[in-house]
């Protein structure tokens, strides 16, 4: 473990797997190579609880850590990604849109599949909204219902109370941020950004790095721009 200013933390955001060449579909072989890269380069995968404890100042972390987030509840998370995540022992967080999940729509995870992953101890759940629409378009009363219903359904279906909210479509403004804070979530996450730090990361706009189909080069995706320490970190963290 290192001092907080010496930790580089990144949240990688995935969506679906092996669905073709769409921007938000990543080949499962690419996920496998990403996780192998993290292991070989001693980048630990975090749980959401660990990340929040770090941001709260309650724990220290290694110098290089990553959190894996997977949004939208696509069925390929279970059929294609889950065997790989399980083999690597990689922790991850599922951002689930509850109305879509409840509809039993073809192509989405079932609640049994979600519970299987959660019960393994590797997966956690986060709210990705109920109707999967941006909170920026809601009034206060509708936003409160949206957030409360999403949390209630996730708790009923998984036995876990979600602490985090993943903004649907990455849509956020000051009002949306206030809605999530007032609903009692511990943190909220966007769909854009880079590394995070305890000192400078807004708790209700935590950035995530979206993994897209064409961004498969390990040299580029996990390159120096992410892991290179700042000048302040070099001064404070030299051994």
At 17-43, the pLDDT tens digits run 999 888 889 999 999 989 998 898 888
Structure tokens at 228: 């290179």
Does 231 score more than 80 pLDDT?
Answer: no
- The domain spanning residue 166 has which CATH number? 3.20.20.370
State residue 81's pLDDT score. 98
Question: In this predicted model, what pLDDT tens digit does every residue of 193-203 receive, in sequence order?
Answer: 878 888 888 99
Q: How big is the CA angle at 36 (ends 59 and 229), to the nearest 5 degrees?
A: 50
Could you list the residue range(s) of the whole structural domain that residue 17 is in? 4-237
Average of pLDDT values for 208-232?
A: 67
Question: In this predicted model, what pLDDT tens digit does every residue of 156-189 receive, in sequence order?
Answer: 999 999 999 999 988 999 999 999 999 999 999 9
Average of pLDDT values for 51-63?
A: 92
- Residue 230 banded pLDDT, cuts 50, 70, 90: low
**Cβ 36 vs Cβ 89: under 8 Å:** no
How far from each other are the two terminal CA atoms of the chain, in whole angstroms?
A: 13
State residue 123's pLDDT score. 98
Based on the structure, what is the number of domains in the chain? 1
**Residue 95: CB partners within 8 Å, gap ≥ 6?**
69, 70, 71, 72, 73, 126, 127, 128, 166
Rounded to 5 degrees, φ, ψ at 195 are -60, 155
- Residue 222 banded pLDDT, cuts 50, 70, 90: low
State residue 200's pLDDT score. 83
């Amino acid at each position: 473990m290192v001092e907080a200013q010496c930790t580089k933390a990144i949240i990688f955001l995935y969506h679906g797997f092996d669905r073709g060449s769409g921007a938000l579909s990543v080949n499962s072989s690419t996920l496998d190579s990403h996780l192998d890269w993290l292991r070989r380069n001693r980048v630990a995968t975090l749980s959401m609880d660990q990340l929040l404890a770090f941001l709260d100042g309650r724990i220290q972390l290694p110098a290089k850590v990553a959190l894996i987030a997977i949004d939208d509840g696509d069925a390929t998370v279970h059929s294609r990604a889950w065997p790989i995540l399980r083999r690597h022992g990689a922790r991850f967080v599922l951002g689930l849109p509850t109305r879509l999940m409840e509809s039993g729509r073809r192509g989405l995870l079932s609640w049994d599949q979600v519970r299987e992953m959660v019960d393994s101890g590797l997966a956690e759940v986060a709210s990705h909204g109920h109707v999967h629409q941006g909170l920026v378009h809601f009034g206060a009363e509708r936003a409160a219902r949206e957030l409360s219903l999403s949390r209630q359904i996730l708790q009923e279906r998984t036995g876990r109370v979600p602490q985090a909210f993943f903004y649907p479509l990455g849509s956020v403004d000051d009002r949306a941020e206030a809605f999530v804070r007032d609903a009692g979530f511990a943190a909220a996450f966007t769909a854009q950004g880079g590394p995070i730090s305890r000192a400078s990361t807004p708790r209700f706009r935590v950035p995530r790095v979206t993994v897209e189909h064409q961004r498969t080069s390990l040299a580029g995706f996990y390159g120096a721009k992410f892991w290179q320490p700042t000048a302040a970190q070099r001064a404070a963290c030299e051994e």
